[in-house]
């Protein structure tokens, strides 16, 4: 049900009762669609909340000043101290500083240029200037045509885990502190496969309480047809070679019987002369579920831009850096003050772009010349001299050869007068 203010607004816009009913239905449909998109996004965040503190979505631009942030979740605000309004339209480079590893950033850029996922860690900086160690897991967002439209970055603060790891190297093993501070999934085993300790993440992954792990063997948490292979590994004297194994695939079984596909890396540790086998576990089932969910919501993310647009326009890109405007939809005059006719042609948008943003707009259209979609935020100057910030989402027009179409969204409610 629409609220009373919205109902009154619709009544003021409607010419008659029939128009009122049509407008009311239109508003209700848009509200339902917006709720659907929000639910999809909430579902995505719920799927990764246990493994990641922060989610960032950026556009594709890799040239200076770098990709622009188009979305952050609440976890990002808590982790960095920046509010959502402060970072939308900015580059993630605002989190970098003196100790940020340049080699890691170069490897990140190389992966993004090639359209590949990236995993790494380096020092980042919060708004108050304090340091933290950030771990990234970055993946491309694809549209239905398989084109990359945005990058989604899952991040978490692993500072405490790194401190715990250093403590393990320099002092006696302190399992409780290490396990509870870590955001990863760990299990410690005797050489015969008996469970010594497992952290909370492991217990939650399989649905067991701490006391239920006592006296269990690691293969007790696998399906019956999988346990003999794992059991043989621990009883055949092959454990000396486990340090050479980077990732061992393993199928766990939750307490409720459901399977969990995982990878485990074994490290040998020494405590008072005794050998402990530490298994670091990666939940592959969770990762696959997240990626499946990402694939399903790619179109939803793009539709979210389209449905919130203030106007659309079509254009060609000739030799100049300015687009040749071929058509402009309704809503353009309300946002800019110009009629559509005033901005048609090869120099139609020159009067609109803020002089200080001409360079990023040029980069925006140059990216399109390469046949790629591009999303860019910049400022426009309205006919009355107001400055407004907009997000321009452009892509090739599949229905018109050598043409492009774009959706424009105003991202700031308040405007500033030019001097």
For residue range 62-95, what is the model confidence (pLDDT) as tens digits?
777 778 998 888 888 989 999 989 999 999 999 9
What single string gives the DSSP state of each residue in 225-243? TTHHHHHHHHHTT-GGGGG
Mean pLDDT, range 205-234, rounded to an integer:
82
298-332 pLDDT, tens per residue?
554 455 444 445 788 898 887 666 788 999 988 89
Mean pLDDT, range 163-190, rounded to an integer:
54
Mean pLDDT, range 140-154, rounded to an integer:
83
More confident residue, 285 or 115: 115
Pick the closest to residue 202 from 186, 218, 179 (CA basis).
186
For position 182, what pLDDT does the model report? 43
Pick the closest to residue 381 from 349, 341, 347 (CA basis).
349
pLDDT above 80: residue 232: no
Indicate the range of 45-59, 223-237, 286-300 predicted with least confidence: 286-300
Pick the closest to residue 227 from 217, 237, 236 (CA basis).
217
Instruction: Point out which residues pair with 137 in neighbouring strands.
Output: 119, 154
Residue 257: burial class (beta carbons within 10 Å; 0-12, 13-18, 19+): exposed
Q: What residue ranges define each of the domains in the chain, with the CATH number in brackets?
A: 46-157 (3.30.450.20), 178-287 (3.30.450.20), 310-417 (3.30.450.20)
Share the mean pLDDT of the chain. 77
What token pair was written down for 228?
């003999």
pLDDT above 50: residue 181: no
Q: Using an 8 Å Cβ cutoff, are 101 and 123 in contact?
A: yes
Q: Using an 8 Å Cβ cutoff, are 53 and 73 in contact?
A: no
**What is the layout of strands, in order, in the sheet containing 274-283?**
195-198, 185-189, 274-283, 259-271, 248-253
Per-residue pLDDT band at 127 (split at 50, 70, 90)? very high
Pairing of strands 185-189, 148-157: unpaired
Interacting residues of 78 by C-beta distance below 8 A, sequence separation 6+: 53
Question: Can you tell me which residue has the tokens 């960095």?
Answer: 80
Pick the closest to residue 402 from 371, 380, 373, 377 (CA basis).
371
What's this model's pTM, rounded to 2 decimal places?
0.38
| DSSP 8-class letter at 217 | B
Interacting residues of 237 by C-beta distance below 8 A, sequence separation 6+: none
For position 176, what pLDDT does the model report? 41
For position 173, what pLDDT does the model report? 38
15-70 pLDDT, tens per residue?
788 877 877 788 777 777 777 767 666 656 555 554 567 888 888 877 777 789 98
For position 384, what pLDDT does the model report? 92
CA 232 to chain centre: 41
What token pair was written down for 29?
């449909």
**Alpha-carbon torsion, ordered 307, 309, 314, 316, to 10 deg:** -110
Interacting residues of 366 by C-beta distance below 8 A, sequence separation 6+: 321
Per-residue pLDDT band at 358 (split at 50, 70, 90)? confident
For position 381, what pLDDT does the model report? 93
Per-residue pLDDT band at 242 (split at 50, 70, 90)? low
Mean pLDDT, range 351-366, rounded to an integer:
87
What token pair was written down for 253?
């079984």
For position 170, what pLDDT does the model report? 42
For position 275, what pLDDT does the model report? 77
Containing 115, the helix (H) or strand (E) segment is: none
Please give the Cα distance from 106 to 103 (Å, whole number).
5
Indicate the range of 160-174, 196-210, 327-341, 360-374 predicted with least confidence: 160-174
Pick the closest to residue 145 from 398, 403, 399 (CA basis).
398
Residue 65's CB is within 10 A of a number of other CB atoms, namely 11
């Amino acid at each position: 049900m629409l609220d009373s203010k919205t109902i009154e607004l619709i009544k003021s816009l409607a010419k008659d009762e029939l128009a009122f009913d049509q407008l009311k239905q239109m508003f209700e449909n848009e509200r339902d669609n917006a709720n659907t998109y929000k639910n999809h996004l909430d579902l995505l965040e719920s799927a990764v909340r246990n493994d990641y503190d922060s989610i960032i979505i950026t556009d594709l631009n890799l040239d200076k000043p770098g990709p622009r942030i188009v979305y952050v979740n609440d976890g990002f605000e808590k982790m960095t101290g920046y509010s959502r309004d402060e970072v939308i339209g900015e580059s993630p480079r605002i989190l970098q500083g003196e100790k940020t590893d340049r080699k890691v950033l170069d490897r990140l850029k190389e992966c993004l240029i090639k359209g590949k996922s990236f995993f790494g860690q380096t020092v980042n900086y919060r708004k108050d200037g304090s340091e933290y160690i950030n771990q990234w897991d970055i993946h491309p967002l694809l549209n239905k045509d398989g084109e990359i439209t945005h990058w989604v970055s899952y991040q978490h603060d692993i500072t405490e885990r790194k401190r715990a790891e250093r403590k393990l190297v320099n002092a006696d093993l302190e399992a409780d502190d290490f396990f509870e501070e870590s955001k990863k999934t760990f299990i410690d085993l005797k050489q015969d496969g008996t469970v010594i300790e497992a952290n909370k993440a492991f217990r939650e992954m399989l649905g067991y309480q701490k006391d239920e792990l006592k006296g269990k063997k690691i293969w007790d948490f696998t399906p019956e047809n999988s346990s003999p292979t794992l059991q043989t590994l621990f009883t055949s004297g092959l454990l000396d070679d486990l340090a050479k194994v980077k990732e061992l695939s393993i199928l766990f079984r939750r307490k409720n019987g459901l399977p969990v596909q995982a990878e485990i890396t074994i490290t040998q540790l020494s405590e008072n002369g005794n050998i402990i086998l530490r298994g670091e576990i990666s939940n592959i089932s969770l990762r696959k579920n997240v990626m499946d969910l990402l694939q399903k919501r790619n179109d939803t993310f793009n539709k979210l831009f389209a449905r919130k647009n203030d106007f659309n326009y079509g254009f060609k890109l000739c030799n100049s850096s300015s687009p040749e405007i071929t058509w402009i939809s309704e809503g353009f005059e309300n946002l800019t003050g110009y009629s559509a006719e005033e901005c048609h042609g090869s120099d139609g948008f020159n009067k609109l772009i803020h002089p200080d943003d001409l360079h990023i707009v040029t980069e925006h259209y140059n990216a399109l010349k390469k046949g790629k979609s591009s999303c860019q935020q910049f400022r426009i100057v309205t006919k009355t001299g107001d400055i407004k910030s907009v997000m321009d989402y452009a892509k090739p027009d599949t229905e018109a050869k050598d043409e492009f179409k774009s959706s424009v969204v105003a991202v700031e409610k308040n405007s500033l007068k030019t001097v």
